Chains A and B, each alone.
Chain A
Amino acid sequence: MPERSPTPASPSQPFGPGPTFSPLKGGDGTFQPLFGGAGTSLFGRRQRRPRGARLPVTVVTGFLGSGKTTLIRAFLQKPEGANTAIVVNEYGEIGIDDALLRASSDATVLLGNGCLCCEVRSDLQETLRALFIERGRGAVPSFERVVIETSGLADPGPVLQTFGTDRALAGEFHLTALVTVVDAVTGTGNLARMPEARKQVALADRIVLSKTDLADADRRDRLLADIAALSAAPVASAVDGDIAPAFLLDDPPIATRPIDRGGHAHTHGIDTFSLIFPEPLPWPAFQQTMALLAALRGPDLLRVKGLVALAGCQGPVVIHQVQHVAHPPVELVDWPDADRRSRLVFVTRNLPRAAVEQLFTAVGEIASLRSQ
């Protein structure tokens, strides 16, 4: 059994006789961090919460006219909405009038209460990076969170991926939640006819039913059933955009209850299921399994989120993958609740639970077989 190589400085011999140029791989094939105190893991400093020290981002999506703007405007009026940066495609959509625009700088409009509004010019990444730099320079108020309103026809996938891939963004921003707004009146029709609308619901962490005062109970129940066929995300109602701020801002719970729709819940091929792993997984095995899934079926691996116990990690590791893009994992200081089993929620297209589970099982078996 290969011995773990000694690190250059150990508590028993700090600043030892000299650096050792030993390989950094541990016995299980993982790379050990070169530096790092007691609080550091394979994935950087252990965090108290998934966002760590990063700026939290809520992405609000929903079909044309669903009420995204109303929701955001109502949120901004509340005390919890102070110090928020809103990112929109067009000032006109959110109702920034000409007078305010004339008074602002080119890229951002101050809204009062520490809030500001920013219009996407070239692309979202560019806009967010510039916003972050402006905040650091003190050129805009020191906002505490970002709310992004996507366009009505947007596939939220690329927006979610942006926070995983872009080195500048993934280090500074944390995608807290994708909130999808669904119009109680037209929602059922939209979901039936528009793939974009379905994707917006399938990927959602939380769903807001808007204009519920305009839809009767039957229509509403039908819509709830249509939504449930696509997503297990919690649903809340809003009238005139009024909803508890926590529904927009809080970290969604990570797969606390297994989702199992017994195989008859597919809609247009979209499925949501969860996997629970009773034992800690070796990181290389987990990583390879996800990589294989992404390589073979990336476009259909719509979203994977969960908390995974990895061998050798003190706390659970937050996993988030959107198609082939894996967000940098974050190790938490501790589990959020008493359940310390790994759990992953999958949102897939034409990729059933059984196939994914079998792959994990097979890899697990292979990884655990060692030559004696």
Chain B
Amino acid sequence: MADTAIWNFKQLAHHELDGFGGIGEGMSIQIAKDGRRILWLAHESAPKNFTAVDVSDPRAPKLVARRDLPQTHMRSNSLETVGDLMAVAYQTTQKGLQPAGFELFDISVPENPRSIAFFDCSGPTSRGVHQLWFADGEYIHMSSGAPDFTPTHPKDDQFYRIIDVKNPTKPVEVGRWWLPGTREGDSAPPPKRHPEGADTGFRPHNTNVYPERPDRAYLGYIDGGLVTLDIADKAHPKMIARWDYHPPYHGFTHTVVPMFSSGIYVVSDECVRPEGGDWPKLVWIVDGRAEDNPVPIATCPLPPLETYMRPQARYGAHNLWENIPKPNGWKSEDIVLATYFNGGLRAYDISNPYQPKEVGYFVPAPPARAPSGAIQINDVFVDERAIVYTVDRHVGGLYTLEMDF
């Protein structure tokens, strides 16, 4: 599979981001005051923090700004923007290191992001923030450690935290939730670990909240599976439902996207092992109409493992287009866009959710300096013009596409 495989997409551009084309899972569009459309990208690992790309013309993306991380023992990997405010996550390679937490930037001048606050999550038991969700301009919902949270197992060192940023210079935590048993001092017993080789931890990954139901948080809780919370009282979140399908599956539930008009949840796993080590990592279609009883009804079809398996590369699900509730985000409850590392970006029609139909794919040729010799498509963003932005995890940078299905 040396050439680009593309079906029902039109590629508009490819920008390798000037030598630092490794992008994590932070992608967010800002419409700047001068009307430019700026795509902010969080790098997957050190030394770069984030990069801003002018995508006003998606056929000619232009670098606008870039920042280095203050330390190499950390990564940003996740960021969001609302208006001219950007939140960037910082996670350290080991517990106890700094800076760990998130930083808020004023990006009203995209060329010159200006730091306005830092929310410290560091501590002897904490690696900081892995992922943050910020869409309403008021609350950041994130997966983070804390100095006052000691997990019962070292892998369970992050939990769900809600931070009020209505005054962006003074973020303050207003609520938190963790899977009972994962914190020292819980009366509930610690959760049963997954088998050796499939223990990726009981921590949240994505923590999504939507205006259609501001009293609900939808969590991909890694080895904990899907968790939905009632957050009407943010200080006291309550679990509504949990769908745990591991074992026999490997674990690592990553993202939950609720489709409000149909009651369907689209749930992605994350593939974290190369060479098919944790196959299959899938995108699941779950019937969520009975909130307390989610029922899986289908998975999005994929080419077989042999097609895209490579020795040092991943092939399996990871990120979804999450219908981020912002004016510059595309919204669809019939189409799922999902990234699959070496399987590229794949699109599905779920109007019949029992039989998701593949309607398009984009699997770019391996970038020239790909460490594994394979493309590793890592995340996707779709703006309100229906332009698709997708990124490689290591070196490939940014691809811009139009959907044609």
Contacts and interface: CB of A to CB of B under 8 A. Distances in A.
A56 to B, nearest CB: 11
Nearest to A11: B261
A136 to B, nearest CB: 5
Interface in A98-155: 136-138, 141-142, 144
A53 B303 CA distance: 17
A77 B263 CA distance: 50
Interface in B287-320: 288-291, 303-304, 306-308
A40 B332 CA distance: 11
Contacts of B306: 137
A33 B350 CA distance: 12
Interface in B208-240: 212-213, 216
A117 B264 CA distance: 41
Contacts of B259: 37
B245 interface: no
B142 to A, nearest CB: 23
A8 B263 contact: yes
Given A15-B258, A53-B359, A53-B405, A36 B263 contact: no
B68 interface: no
Interface in A1-47: 8-11, 14-16, 18-19, 33, 35-40, 44-45
A240 to B, nearest CB: 31
A171 interface: yes
Contacts of B289: 8-9, 15-16, 18-19
Given A15-B260, A53-B8, A53-B405, A35 B353 contact: yes
A329 interface: no
A298 interface: no
What is the interface residue range for chain B against chain A? 35 or more
Contacts of B174: none
Contacts of B1: 138
A11 B258 CA distance: 13
B357 A171 contact: yes
A53 B335 CA distance: 12
A171 B351 CA distance: 14
B357 A37 contact: no
A14 B359 CA distance: 27
Nearest to A8: B289
B71 interface: no
Interface string B114-135: 0000000000000000000000
Interface residues of A, number: 28
Contacts of B6: 142
A137 B333 contact: no
B351 A14 contact: no
Contacts of B353: 35
Contacts of B359: 52-53
B262 interface: yes
29 contacts: A9-B289, A10-B261, A11-B261, A14-B261, A15-B216, A15-B263, A15-B289, A33-B352, A35-B262, A35-B263, A35-B351, A36-B261, A36-B334, A36-B351, A37-B259, A37-B332, A37-B351, A39-B333, A44-B349, A44-B351, A48-B405, A52-B359, A53-B8, A53-B349, A53-B359, A53-B405, A136-B307, A137-B303, A138-B1
Interface of B: 1, 3, 5-8, 212-213, 216, 258-264, 288-291, 303-304, 306-308, 332-335, 349, 351-353, 357, 359-360, 405
Given A40-B334, A45-B335, 5 more contacts: A14-B213, A15-B258, A33-B351, A45-B334, A45-B349
Across the A-B interface, the 8 shortest Cβ-Cβ residue pairs: A37-B333, A53-B359, A53-B405, A14-B260, A9-B263, A45-B351, A35-B262, A138-B307
Interface of A: 8-11, 14-16, 18-19, 33, 35-40, 44-45, 48, 52-53, 136-138, 141-142, 144, 171
